Amino acid sequence: MEAKKGDTLLVHGRTVGHHDRKAKIVEVLGDHGAPPYRVRFEDDGKECLVSPGPDSVVRHKGSKIPGR
């Protein structure tokens, strides 16, 4: 996984009743865009340090979502 400051991290809900969450990457702490990332979640504005797992996707700043 590789990201830059300003990219969006999409974390898919893993169980029934848990929704997907989007977070803006505010700082990249790993080498060459690798995790961990400091992120700010859109739904509650909280910041935290994350090391995303296989249930997460990076959407690069300026990229378009297919079909939209």
Higher pLDDT, 18 or 28: 28
Quote the CA–CA distance of 63 and 46 in Å, as a whole number.
24
Residues 26-62: tens digit of each pLDDT: 999 999 999 999 999 999 999 999 999 998 999 998 7
Report whether 24 contacts 39 (CB < 8 A). Answer: yes
User: Which whole-number Å values give the CA distances from 36 to 3, 9, 39, 48, in the listed order?
Assistant: 10, 12, 9, 10
26 by DSSP, 3-state: which?
Answer: strand
35 by DSSP, 3-state: which?
Answer: coil
